[in-house]
Structure 1
Amino acid sequence: MQTKFVAIAVALAAAFGGSASAQEVIKIGHVGPVSGPQAHLGKDNENGANMAIADLNAKGIKIGGKPVKFTLVLEDDGADPKQGTTVAQKLVDAKVNGVVGHLNSGTTVPASRIYYNAGIPQISPASTIPTYTKQKFNTAFRIVANDNKLGGTLGKYAVTKLGAKKIAVIDDRTAYGQGVASEFIKGAKAPGVQIVDKQFTNDKATDFNAILTSIKAKNPDLVFFGGMDAVGGPLLRQMKALGINAKFMGGDGVCTDALPRLAGTAAADGVVTCAEAGGVPPELQKNMDDFRARYKKQFNQEVQLYAPYVYDSVMTMAQAMQDAGSSDPKKYLPFLAKVKYQGVTGLITFDQFGDIQDGALTLFTYKGGKKTRMEVVK
């Protein structure tokens, strides 16, 4: 009887030991707002992450000569900084191998300290606030251009291409909204240009009558909004209702396919100019088109905004693991800092701060209710 039990124990140990050594499970955390007003953007990001994980597993990747299986650990930060730090700690406790996220600057920055303290690499596919990569956290990376470039480029464009002379600025008091608005104002400085009004709202506001009444009295020819589409759309709708006929400009937060639905007829042809933090030159457009076609086939909807950048973030992290021959954060982190990955969105390499090298911006307008690309600038 004893011999029989020993034989069974040996067989079980061999079976479980063999399966454990045969395939390592690598956990990638993903965080975005999949509840609340920005849920359509958070879900878009999550979809991009799911596509990347599926593609990695389909390739049968080996790391350090051993087969691996990638799995996604999903968390919702609700675009709220407090919730963002809570779920960041959950991912640390879950011992994820890396994190892709967050979407919002206001959640990305406080969460980044938690990942840094745990030594877990983080790639943000969307956060643009410069502070994120200026904290000297060697775990923090991003694959889109920051607000210095985004806001500054839009400010110059407003003056030199749109001919704006009297500009009103509104922001939503979030880290992102204030940051991009501040950089816009710097970029718009030019002889004869006036910032005639500065107003602020919040990222959950629905009534803008008071601030828009103040702005209307200043008769601006352009209104810049620093914030997201869930607020920017209704804001633009109420601008039209009050008879404010100014051009409308915003950063990547409003530069979504959902804006015409949120703004209604106020997003008429040529009224809106916005910029997406990212973009591909003509020679890479086919790769992006193929990605978008696959995305639509899988999820039965168009890419909202950052799904391709989330996809590339996951792939870049996996590439660094392959280069290092290890999924151990301490071992692959130095390889992530010097990675070179040719992604859907372009070549991904990082500077000494963890920012994308040579990050592009894409300028858009809306025609016939559709987001329409104008040009890619670097």
Structure 2
Amino acid sequence: MVAVLERPQEEAHATTEVATNTMKVDAKELKRALGRLARVVPNRANELARLHVALTPSDGALVLAASDGESDLELTVAAEAKAGPTRLVPAALFQQVAGAIAADTVSLTVVGDVMKVAAGGFKTEIYLMEEGEELPRDFTGEHLLTAPAGEIASVLKPVIYAVSNEQYRAIFRGAQLEVYPDRLRAVATDGFRLAIMDRDLPEGARVTIPQPEDEDTEDTEDADAPAAPRESLAFVVPKRSLIELLRNLPEDGDPVELRFRRGRLVVASERMRFSTSLLEGVYPDYERPIPNEYVATAEVRVEPLREALRRTLVLADAANARVDLTFEEGRVRLASAGDYGRGEEVVELVAYRGEPITVVLNGHYLDEALQPLEGAARLDISGPQSPILIEGPFDPGYRAVVVPMRV
């Protein structure tokens, strides 16, 4: 009887030792983190590990990570936990289980290759990949920029609409970020429209422009000459990565660090790390399509024009969203026509200089170009078939160009 009684006591003691590293985390924070990570987890993968979320307990926190091979995302949430090894949890199942929890707090306990999940009266077990399996992640790079997160977002967010969705557009499937010692610029274009956002860096921001890496050179007299130092750095971030980066940037005042190495960008804050592969190359001379001379200039209130555009587009041809805009003294007339009727509306202008002129545009393109502006917009018109320059008179950092339709 003594031997029978002693064995359960030893097993209970062993279980207690494992359970001392139980992780307790706020359910809402866990759900939010898993929801963001799920956008990085691929639907299919040659490497089984990429279908999992990496879970790493540390003292007072829980680090969760996902990767699809192009982008890596790591989020840290507060937790009652002690440092322990990283384990890989099936991403889709983990998110479903967490999403069904109604309690405020979730307990996660790893025993062997099983993670026990408990919340209120709910209990379940999730099978893990074997201990020692790793999820490849890459957050290495040289310091490029340290600035408030809001400054980074304010440069990237206004231009993302102009990034091309077409695979054949190659480099234009991403937005170009340009880092200067005292300012940032973001540029996006899909060949039909162009968006540029310039923003001065705030006091206290730190910039380190990396010097050119050594490259193979031909055997010439200048082969041993040092490369000219960079005064700025430009690189192109894929659109999907931009969307995820903007989704995960911390609150406006929190600082973030950008790290760079050839072909990769890393953005890190206190509780978030995101890295992505970059598109190869940079934009060609994107400022060339911007006109230098204009035949007319219209100043208009943004919201009334956007609201009129949306109403007019209801009856526009769905294939091309054509809207005819006739500018004249004091007003602009919007007109559209489609298979089911015509639409027309007149919007008053704040000011107009020039002769009457009609320009045919894709209404959606114009609406999106106006979206980053507040209050008023200035439209510089260079001709019926020439690009229109759109600027904010109270925010000169933003410029957009829309190319008219050929009719």
TM-score by length of 1: 0.22
TM-score by length of 2: 0.21
* Larger Rg over CA atoms: 2
Larger RCO (CA under 8 A, 6+ residues apart): 1
Q: Which has the higher strand share?
A: 2
